[in-house]
Amino acid sequence: MTEFSHECCNCAVGAYPCLGSSCKQGVAHYYCDECGEEAGQLYQFDGEELCADCVLERLPRVE
Asked whether residue 33 carries a pLDDT value surpassing 80, the answer given is: yes
pLDDT for the residue 46: 92
| β-pair partners for 48 | 45
Asked whether residue 23 carries a pLDDT value surpassing 80, the answer given is: no
Q: Give the mean model confidence (pLDDT) for residues 41-59.
A: 95
Asked whether residue 27 carries a pLDDT value surpassing 80, the answer given is: yes
Predicted TM-score (pTM) of the model is 0.68
**More reliable by pLDDT, 42 or 23:** 42
Q: How far apart are CA 29 and CA 21, in angstroms?
A: 18
